[in-house]
Structure 1
C-alpha cells in the first residue's frame, strides 16, 4: 500500500487553524477584560449596607468591629459626614486606600456610617 505522507500534515494544519479560530472567538468575549486588566467590574450595590459588604467588610468586619482597619461601630459619634466621606474618597494614611467606591456611593456610605453612634 502506498500512502500519501502529506495527509497527516494537512490534518494537523487543519486542526491548528480550527483551534486558532476557536481561541479567537473565545478572546472576543473577553476583549474588554484583556484590554483593561486593572479595572474591576463593579456590581451594583442597592443600599449602603450592600456597599459596605462589597467594599469595606474585609478590613472593618461584618459587625463594624474592625479587623485590619479600625472599628466603625460608633464612628458617627467621632466624625461628621463630611470627614467620613473625605476618608472614603481620599483614603487615610497607609492603611485606608482611597477610591474604593465612586463619589455618589461614598456619600451614601458616609451618611450611613455617620448614623452609627
Structure 2
C-alpha cells in the first residue's frame, strides 16, 4: 500500500513540475529583460539634446562633458553606439555609478540625447 502511495506522489510531483516548466513565464521574460529597452526612431534635434544634456548630465559629466564624478562623454560615440548609450541612459549603471533616467525623461528625449552623444567621436 505504501509503495502505491509513494509512486502516486512521485508521479504527481513529476507531472506538476512538467506543467510548471511549460506554463510559467520566465525564460522569455528574462531574455527580454536582458535585451533591455528598445530605442525609438527619432530625428536628431541637436539643440534639444544639448539642452537636455545641460539639464541632466553636466552635474556628473561636467559643463563640456569633460568628466567629473562621471566619465568624460566628449568621445563616447567612439566607444558606444546610439543604442548602447540609450540603454545606459534609460536603465543607468548598477552600483550607483549612473542613475536611470527612465521616467525622468521621455523615451524620445533619451533617444535624441543618445543620438547626439553617439556623434561625439
What's the TM-score, normalizing by structure 2? 0.57
Deviations 1:48-102 (A, max 9, x none): 0000000111000011101100100000000000000000000012220102422
Q: CA RMSD in A?
A: 1.1
| Paired residue secondary structure (1:87) | helix
- Equivalent residues, number: 72
Q: Distance in 2 between matches of 1:70 and 1:85?
A: 16
For residue 80 of structure 2, what is the aligned residue in structure 1?
79
- Larger RCO (alpha carbons 8 Å, 6+ apart): 2
Partner residue of 1:111 out of 115, 118, 121? 115
Alignment of 1:54-69 (within 5 A): 54-69=55-70
Q: Give me the TM-score of the superposition, normalised by structure 1.
A: 0.59
Structure 1: 4+ residue segments shifted above 6 A: none
Question: Which consecutive unaligned segments of at least 5 residues does structure 1 have?
Answer: 1-45
Q: Which moved more, 1:75-84 or 1:46-55?
A: 46-55
Q: Please identify the structure whose Cα radius of gyration is greater.
A: 1
88-97 or 72-81, which moves further after superposition?
88-97
